[in-house]
């Protein structure tokens, strides 16, 4: 077991549906702590840079349009095995395949509008956290 930090995003469909509080409550209930948070609207450039690894995928432009369509909540979550725990709490990318009770099962409206993002590895978490947060914006919650 190790204490980790991971990047979480509450995506535009979930902020539009007023599910910010429900999603944050779930993270806290599961023992993850919010070490940084921002409510913001992503620019096209920022969203493109974030999803750069998907640049060649057919859904890239649609994904960028979706991610810039409304407000997002950017968060650093901290806790025991936070990267894996967050992915478990989120569920599968496609809500049709997500387990009962996962955030995507509860709050996604499709494979693209799937409510939440979570870093998928330690190296992604490091890149993604520093992409959105300065060091002095992240608080120690261990
Ligand atoms: P994640 O790590 O579970 O978020 O999944 P990926 O890294 O594979 O994909 C990034 C994001 O792209 C997903 O969370 C979805 O919002 C979107 N996405 C993934 N696959 C598809 C797809 O087949 N079609 C569309 N339209 N969007 C997708």
Q: In the prediction, which pLDDT does 1 show?
A: 63
C-beta 120 within 6 A of ligand 1:
yes
CB of 93 within 6 A of ligand 1: the answer is: yes
Q: What are 80's strand-pairing partners?
A: 3
More confident residue, 142 or 114: 114
117 catalytic, yes or no? yes
Element (H, E) at 80: strand 72-80
Q: Where are the beta strands (DSSP E) in the chain?
A: 3-10, 33-40, 72-80, 116-118
- Whose tokens are 């890149």? That residue is 127
Q: What would the pLDDT profile of 73-110 be if each residue is shown by its tens digit? A: 999 999 999 999 999 999 999 999 999 999 999 999 99
Selecting among 83, 117, 129, 132, the annotated active-site residue is 117
Strand 116-118 relative to strand 3-10, pairing:
antiparallel
pTM of the predicted model, to two decimals? 0.98
User: Probe ligand 1: pick from 58, 63, 84, max atoms within 8 Å of CB?
Assistant: 63
Confirm if 141 and 80 have CB atoms less than 8 A apart.
no
Give the 3-state secondary structure of residue 10: strand
Is 112 near ligand 1, meaning CB less than 6 Å away?
yes
């Amino acid at each position: 077991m190790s204490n980790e930090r991971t990047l979480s995003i509450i995506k535009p469909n979930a902020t539009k549906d007023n599910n910010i509080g429900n999603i944050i409550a779930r993270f806290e209930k599961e023992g993850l702590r919010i070490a940084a948070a921002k409510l913001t609207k992503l620019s096209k450039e920022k969203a493109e840079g974030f999803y750069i690894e998907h640049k060649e995928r057919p859904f890239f432009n649609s994904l960028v349009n979706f991610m810039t369509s409304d407000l997002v909540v950017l968060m650093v979550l901290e806790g025991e095995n936070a990267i894996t725990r967050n992915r478990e709490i989120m569920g599968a990318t496609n809500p049709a395949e997500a387990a009962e009770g996962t955030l995507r099962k509860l709050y996604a409206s499709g494979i693209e509008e799937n409510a939440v993002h979570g870093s998928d590895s330690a190296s992604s978490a490091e890149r993604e956290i520093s992409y959105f947060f300065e060091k002095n914006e992240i608080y120690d919650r261990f």
